[in-house]
Amino acid sequence: MSYTVLIPARLASTRLPDKPLADIAGLPMVVHVAHAARRSGAREVIVAADSTRIVQACEAHGVRALLTRADHPSGSDRLAEACELLGLDDDARVVNVQGDEPLIEPTLIDACARMLDERPECPMATVAHAIEVETEYRNPNVVKVVLDARGRALYFSRAPIPCWRDVHAGGDAPATWTYGAPLRHVGLYAYRAGFLRAFPALEPAPLERIESLEQLRVLWHGHAIAVHVTALRPGTGVDTPEDLERVRALLRP
């Protein structure tokens, strides 16, 4: 299995300005992400940045970085440009590791990439894990996914899915889930490069706009997404200053 990790990174962040460059134990956060990705089986790890400041910070620490346009509406659009700049073949495997996940588990990156080999009918793959806490199941900031019999995504939602009907009818919550535990979606994606290049040209889906979930565009247009269900619970991502302090404490020498 051969694949490339691409890490989208942009300076703009409403809750945490200059997030990719936030210092964690003496290194910019995006460099920590790249170092974690290098512990996977990827043949190469490259940051796709919207600013020369990010490119320079990466290069100062031995991480390859590409300068992409600053006006991309999403990380997927940024990675599509990176695929063009790198001249990747349509069948090349690309894994999108978010630039705010310094605690990403390298084995999850490998598992996500492997799904494309195991599911040749799927141009895209992602990761999920079981939800064990009721508050996470109800939290709209926690994205849920339900699967079909072949382990492919049926739907992603911020709502609690699958919804246990009898609870809303006044019954008791199930002691165990016949379907299996509800699944939390992890924002780690693998693509065939040809599909990633074509993705920005797909018309945004109404459901994507309602849920504010870009992956629903893929399902809306009839493409399959393979899902690797892991027993690992990914580490803390960084969305807020509080998240940043938690990660700093974990990575402090």
Is the per-residue pLDDT at 224 higher than 80?
yes
Q: How buried is residue 115: exposed, middle or buried, by Cβ count under 10 Å (0-12/13-18/19+)?
A: buried
State the first-to-last Cα distance of the chain, in angstroms, to the nearest integer. 34
Q: Which residues contact 140 (CB under 8 A, 6 or more apart)?
A: 158, 159
Please compute the mean of the pLDDT values over residues 81-105 and round it to a whole number: 95
Please compute the mean of the pLDDT values over residues 100-118 and round it to a whole number: 95
* Tens digits of residue pLDDT in 137-177: 888 988 999 999 999 999 999 999 988 766 544 445 454 55
Q: For the chain, which domains are there? A: 3-251 (3.90.550.10)
What is the reported pLDDT for 225? 98
Tell me which residue has tokens 């599911």.
Answer: 119
Mean pLDDT rounded to a whole number for the chain: 91
151: alpha, beta or left, given left = phi > 0 and alpha = psi -120 to 50? left
Nearest to 225 by CA among 251, 188, 200: 188
Phi and psi at residue 234, to the nearest 5°? -60, 155
State whether the Cα torsion 40-235-162-177 is positive or negative.
positive
